[in-house]
Amino acid sequence: MRESYRSDIEMLIMPDDAAKRDSAVAGDDVEKQTSGQSLFLNHDVNSLAWQDVTITVKNRADEGRPLDILVASSGIVRPGQMMALMGPSGSGKTTLLNTLAQRQAPTRGKVLINGAECPLTTHRAVSSFVEQEDTLIGSLTVEETLKFAAKLSLPSTVSKTEAYSRVSSLIDAFGLSNQRRTLIGTPIQKGISGGQKRRVSVATQLITGPRVLYLDEPTSGLDSTASFEVMSFIRNIAKQNNLIVIASIHQPSTKTLELFSKVTLLSKGETCFYGAVSEIDQYFRGLGMEIPHLTNPSEHMLDLTNVDFGPQDAQTRLDIVLEGWKNSERPHDLENEIRSLSSQQVEVAPLTTRPSIFSQVVTLVRRAFIKSYRDLVCYWVRVAMYMGLAIMMGTVWLRLSPTQDHIQPFINAIFFGSAFLSFMAVAYVPAFLEDRAVFVKERANGLYGPTAFLVTNFLVGLPFLFLIAFLFSIVSYWLINLRPDGGAFFTWIMWLFLDLIAAESLVVLVSSIFPNFVVALALVAFANGLWMSVGGFLVAMPVLNVFWKYVFHYIDYQAYVFQGMMVNEFKDRNYDCEVQDGNCFCMYQSALQDQCKIEGRAVLDAYDYAPGREGKWVGILIVIIVVYRLLGWVVTYLKKT
Ligand SMILES: Nc1ncnc2c1ncn2[C@@H]1O[C@H](COP(=O)(O)OP(=O)(O)OP(=O)(O)O)[C@@H](O)[C@H]1O
């Protein structure tokens, strides 16, 4: 069942326009009117060409000797045209696409816009790159996804009305009007189809009105019908807006191939064919390699150029294709066509007015807020888990009494509460990695940087962690019967809150260094095990050997939380000693011994946790949190993938 989300948070995203849209853009009529209209007509870029582009790498398999993975590739694409980069796996499609998009510098040759080489900033300003993997946020609707993309990418000079109009036009142009308020979808909440997801991904890249669009395998993972649908929408938009589209594509169906204007066919980095789709048939017939009746031309071209899985004479056949290309007039004609391009620097407004970090953080916080209250797995399952833990703890250590035989269970409950809750932060690893994947993609597209990402992550985490600390404590604190005092209760919540922030900061740091689910999970679990062991409770400080003490104990955030909670429990509470046959036996010696009681401070003395140092411990915890976060920022800043 597809859920239709009435955008109750619309006012949050684009308040003015949500209201206007409700009155103005509600019906199908308007949708029909807007579809087919130009979204952002390209007036600036009249050609994208590449000339003799060669990429040489150090061959991993041959002691780093030079290896050409792309050899003297040339081509030209004009406005309204869509070019397919085709070839068998490993033929160099992605390498060429990345080079054209200036994500990779050519060893030799040039990439020209309007016949001239242009600076990277200009190229970025006029183009967009759609990655192979969709990294959409599953708990947002189609419309919200585009609105947030608009908010993050459009300069402040673009008015809200204009931004909304772009979003609306894109939704219509990509045939997503009926899915406007449907969720993208998560593993447990069904959303739009795979093809529709691809269309949303492409639409988000068109918000800024690029003139050139690069697509890395836009149809991968889609069946032939969905592939055709996705490419048809892109083709129509390219035609209507005079856009230049270049897509690497593996094996399009005949119908999908016909949507393209041109094809570059590669094998082992060399050009096998470059030209109009309509010329494929005639060209290969000329080589004596006619496309057999009822055979898909892409399949035929791949068969001719694939030497990995082809028949024994595959290499001979490929040599004929390569020779055929070199000996034809075509490379020469292409060279002349590129040379004849009148060199003219592209004029585009530099993106100097990007949204400020503050505005990016506000947008990202709003987006994360929506995600958090909709994404069951990410947040509510974790809340449920902590509540289960609270009930478990509260009932295992049920209603302890202030007597000496319950002193140890109290201490154990404090240790378990602080250590295990911190340990459970491992459950945050998948959610963080998911957010990070979205960030990596959005950063590559120039939307925002590590500061906005990590500040948002921190801010969004705070209320959630406070909620967990509060709900967990409200159940477990009173069931266990920890010191029954309002002030003590809120102090306990404060320690738990700091504990959870530190634990989550550790998750952010570790998962940023190792952005792999299993590795991050194992390392966070290991680190928590380490903090438990060296905290001073399981192995008393005088016994703990100097290595663990001086290298790890003093940076162990769990230790400060445990000490703080111990002081909170024992500082102002007295415990009854045991009376046997009228005699009083006290486990701890204190000033109240003559009243057959133990002063809680005597317990603290035994652990050397003198009250009065809580402020310092809170300070140390904050420093640990800040250091984790700063290190997380440094790693994220340096690590681009
Ligand atoms: N340092 C290197 N040493 C050896 N080979 C390399 C090196 N770097 C890249 N290659 C090879 O260059 C070729 C081009 O890779 P590219 O990813 O561009 O191909 P592709 O056509 O996009 O493949 P696919 O369809 O599988 O994505 C591959 O065969 C790759 O193994």
Q: Output the ligand 1 site: residues, CB below 6 A.
A: 57-61, 67, 69, 87, 89-95
92 CA closest ligand 1 atom index = 18
The ipTM, to two decimals, is: 0.95
Measure 246 CA to ligand 1 centroid, in angstroms: 19
Work out the burial of residue 548: count CB atoms within 10 Å of its CB; fewer than 13 is exposed, 13-18 middle, 19 or more buried: middle
Whether the predicted pLDDT of 491 surpasses 80: yes
pLDDT for 245 equals 97
Whether the predicted pLDDT of 355 surpasses 90: no
In the predicted model, what is the mean pLDDT of residues 457-473? 95
pLDDT tens-digit series, residues 44-86: 898 999 999 999 999 888 888 899 999 999 999 999 999 999 9
Measure 339 CA to ligand 1 centroid, in angstroms: 29
In the predicted model, what is the mean pLDDT of residues 10-31? 36
Whether the predicted pLDDT of 501 surpasses 90: yes
Query: How far are the Cα atoms of 16, 104, 280, 552 from residue 290, in angstroms, in the given order?
Result: 60, 36, 9, 72
Q: To test ligand 1's pocket by mutation, which of 95, 99, 219 has the most ligand atoms within 8 angstroms of CB?
A: 95
Question: For residues 377 and 460, which has the higher predicted lDDT (pLDDT)?
Answer: 460
**Contact status, residue 64 vs residue 58, Cβ threshold 8 Å:** yes
Tell me what the pLDDT averaged over the chain comes to.
89
pLDDT for 344 equals 65
In this structure, the residue with its CA closest to atom 12 of ligand 1 is 69
- pLDDT confidence tier of residue 447, bands split at 50, 70 and 90: confident
Query: How far are the Cα atoms of 135, 165, 623 from residue 205, in angstroms, in the given order?
Result: 12, 15, 40
**Distance (Å, rounded) from C-alpha 328 to C-alpha 44?**
33
Reported pTM: 0.80
Q: To test ligand 1's pocket by mutation, which of 93, 107, 216, 264 has the most ligand atoms within 8 angstroms of CB?
A: 93
In this structure, the residue with its CA closest to atom 25 of ligand 1 is 89
Among 348-352, 453-457, 630-634, name the one with the lowest average pLDDT: 348-352
**Contact status, residue 600 vs residue 574, Cβ threshold 8 Å:** yes
pLDDT for 86 equals 95
**Distance (Å, rounded) from C-alpha 47 to C-alpha 113?**
6
Query: How far are the Cα atoms of 174, 602, 606 from residue 586, in angstroms, in the given order?
Result: 78, 11, 14
Work out the burial of residue 615: count CB atoms within 10 Å of its CB; fewer than 13 is exposed, 13-18 middle, 19 or more buried: exposed
Contacts for 136 with CB less than 8 Å, ≥ 6 apart: 145, 184, 197, 200, 201, 204, 438
pLDDT for 59 equals 87
pLDDT for 33 equals 35
Q: To test ligand 1's pocket by mutation, which of 53, 62, 69 has the most ligand atoms within 8 angstroms of CB?
A: 69
**Distance (Å, rounded) from C-alpha 440 to C-alpha 526?**
26
In the predicted model, what is the mean pLDDT of residues 9-30? 36
Whether the predicted pLDDT of 14 surpasses 80: no
pLDDT for 233 equals 92
Whether the predicted pLDDT of 36 surpasses 80: no
Measure 92 CA to ligand 1 centroid, in angstroms: 6
Q: Token pair for residue 613?
A: 């140092």
pLDDT for 121 equals 83
Q: To test ligand 1's pocket by mutation, which of 94, 215, 264 has the most ligand atoms within 8 angstroms of CB?
A: 94
DSSP labels, 387-405? HHHHHHHHHHTTT--SBGG
pLDDT for 621 equals 98
269 CA closest ligand 1 atom index = 14
Most distant pair of Cα atoms in the chain: their distance: 114
Q: Token pair for residue 187?
A: 């593993």
In the predicted model, what is the mean pLDDT of residues 524-535? 96
pLDDT for 8 equals 35
Sign of CA dihedral 405, 408, 414, 417: negative
pLDDT for 334 equals 93
**Contact status, residue 430 vs residue 517, Cβ threshold 8 Å:** yes
pLDDT tens-digit series, residues 574-585: 999 999 999 999
pLDDT tens-digit series, residues 159-201: 889 889 989 999 998 999 999 999 999 877 889 999 999 999 9
Measure 328 CA to ligand 1 centroid, in angstroms: 27
**Distance (Å, rounded) from C-alpha 38 to C-alpha 176?**
17
User: Can you tell me which residue has the tokens 């009746």?
Assistant: 293
Q: Token pair for residue 395?
A: 């009932």
Which own/partner pairs from 158-166 qualify as long-range (CB within 8 Å, at least 24 positions apart)? 160/14, 160/16, 160/17, 161/16, 161/17, 161/20, 163/14, 163/17, 164/14, 164/17, 164/20, 164/21, 166/39, 166/40, 166/207, 166/209
pLDDT for 118 equals 85
In this structure, the residue with its CA closest to atom 18 of ligand 1 is 92
Among candidate residues 273, 279, 227, 270, the one with its CA nearest the CA of residue 250:
227
91 CA closest ligand 1 atom index = 21
Strand-pairing partners, residue 583, are: 580
Measure 95 CA to ligand 1 centroid, in angstroms: 7
Whether the predicted pLDDT of 597 surpasses 90: yes
User: Can you tell me which residue has the tokens 């582009």?
Assistant: 53
- pLDDT confidence tier of residue 309, bands split at 50, 70 and 90: low
- pLDDT confidence tier of residue 477, bands split at 50, 70 and 90: very high
Please name each of the domains of the chain with its CATH number: 48-339 (3.40.50.300), 357-638 (no CATH)
pLDDT for 432 equals 93
Angle between helices 450-480 and 429-444 (to 10 degrees): 170
**Distance (Å, rounded) from C-alpha 197 to C-alpha 192?**
6
- pLDDT confidence tier of residue 94, bands split at 50, 70 and 90: very high
pLDDT tens-digit series, residues 583-593: 999 999 999 99
DSSP labels, 176-203? -GGGTTBB--BTTB--S-HHHHHHHHHH
